[in-house]
């Protein structure tokens, strides 16, 4: 596993520096890296998706565990380092991991195939929320074990009625259990970010039903566009709400179970197919 000096050297010998615009803060604390790999429970032969491998510090630890790694990297400079150091030990997909905000990059999707996988990654800030939301409803994904900014972690762990409770909390927690693995100081990264980070696990719920995910997404999008308005104002006073939900309540007070009940209203059901 690479030390901080080795990471620095890999970049300096190529006249490279961390790119702030790509959220490049390299996690170099080896104890924390091992902690993440242990929490993920990766096994020999298991498939792992890593996004933003950088110089390959976490990647090397995953490969040492015997798993098969599919890595997605946007930065061509980092791709060159990974290719040079690890070659054919992993499958490297160059480019953005997402196509828009609701689909994986088709090349990355093909590389993963139909087999189950786990996401294990120190996620770049810009991609963390949409990627975690997307994989929470991907039937192939057995779990996500990620390092993210604490603000994003707070949203994942939030409760109804709090400021942090919102679309990310709901889109993930409707289908998965979220747990805090640990907190990381800025000094675990190079360069040190101005914010704290956390390690989070996202484990799919037993028997999760993904059939209503589009209706739930429409419900959340509609309601949280006016999260401080009353439901009766947003939907019209004549709307018959599910039993136990008062029209005077606000969207950010609704639990996941209540939001799922809302998603079964006719207005949020799947639109009819065009003839």
Contact in structure between 120 and 42 (CB atoms under 8 Å): yes
pTM of the model: 0.94
Which one-letter DSSP state was computed for residue 83?
H
pLDDT of residue 102: 84
Reading the block at residue 14, the tokens are 């190529």
User: What pLDDT score was predicted for residue 87?
Assistant: 87
Q: How far apart are CA 164 and CA 155, in angstroms?
A: 5
Q: How far apart are CA 245 and CA 261, in angstroms?
A: 9
Measured distance CA(115)–CA(203) in Å, rounded: 17
Model confidence over 206-233: pLDDT tens digits? 989 999 999 999 999 999 999 889 999 9
What letter does residue 251 receive in the DSSP assignment? G
pLDDT of residue 61: 95
Domains of the chain by start residue, with CATH = 4-204 (3.40.50.150), 213-268 (1.10.8.100)
Q: What is the mean pLDDT of residues 230-255?
A: 95
pLDDT for res 101: 78
What pLDDT is recorded for position 270? 65
**Nearest Cα residue to 36 out of 149, 148, 154:** 148
Q: Contact 167/224 with Cβ under 8 angstroms?
A: yes
Length of the chain: 275
Predicted confidence band of residue 237 (pLDDT cuts 50, 70, 90): confident
- Give the count of beta carbons closer than 10 Å to the beta carbon of residue 56: 28
Is 50 exceeded by the pLDDT of residue 36?
yes
Interval 117-138: pLDDT, tens = 999 999 998 899 999 999 999 9
**Whether residue 271 has pLDDT greater than 70:** no
d(CA 129, CA 209): 21
Residues in Cβ contact with 133 at an 8 Å cutoff, skipping those fewer than 6 apart: 167, 168, 171, 172
State the chain's mean pLDDT as an integer.
Answer: 94
pLDDT at 275: 32
Mean pLDDT of 186-207: 96
């Amino acid at each position: 596993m690479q030390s901080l000096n080795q990471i620095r050297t890999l970049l300096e010998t190529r006249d490279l520096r961390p790119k702030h615009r790509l959220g490049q803060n390299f996690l170099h604390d080896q104890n924390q890296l091992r902690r993440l790999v242990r929490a993920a429970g990766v096994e020999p032969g298991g498939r792992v998706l890593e996004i933003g491998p950088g110089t390959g510090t976490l990647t090397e630890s995953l490969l040492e565990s015997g798993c098969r790694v599919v890595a997605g990297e946007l930065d061509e400079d980092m791709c060159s380092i990974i290719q040079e150091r690890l070659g054919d030990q992993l499958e490297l997909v160059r480019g953005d991991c997402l196509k828009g905000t609701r689909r994986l990059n088709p090349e990355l999707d093909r590389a993963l195939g139909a087999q189950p996988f786990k996401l294990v990654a120190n996620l770049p800030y810009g991609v963390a929320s949409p990627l975690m939301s997307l994989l929470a409803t991907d039937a192939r994904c057995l779990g996500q074990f990620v390092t993210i900014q604490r603000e994003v972690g707070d949203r994942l762990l939030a409760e109804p009625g709090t400021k942090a409770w919102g679309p990310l909390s709901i889109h993930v927690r409707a289908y998965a259990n979220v747990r805090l693995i640990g907190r990381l100081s800025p000094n675990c990264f190079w360069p040190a970010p101005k914010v704290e980070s956390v390690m989070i696990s996202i484990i799919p719920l037993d028997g999760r039903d993904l059939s209503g995910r589009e209706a739930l997404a429409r419900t959340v999008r509609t309601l949280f566009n006016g999260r401080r308005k009353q439901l009766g104002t947003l939907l019209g006073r004549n709307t018959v709400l599910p039993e136990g939900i008062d029209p005077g309540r606000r969207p950010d007070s609704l639990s996941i179970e209540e939001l799922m009940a809302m998603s079964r209203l006719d207005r949020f059901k799947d639109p009819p197919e065009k003839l």
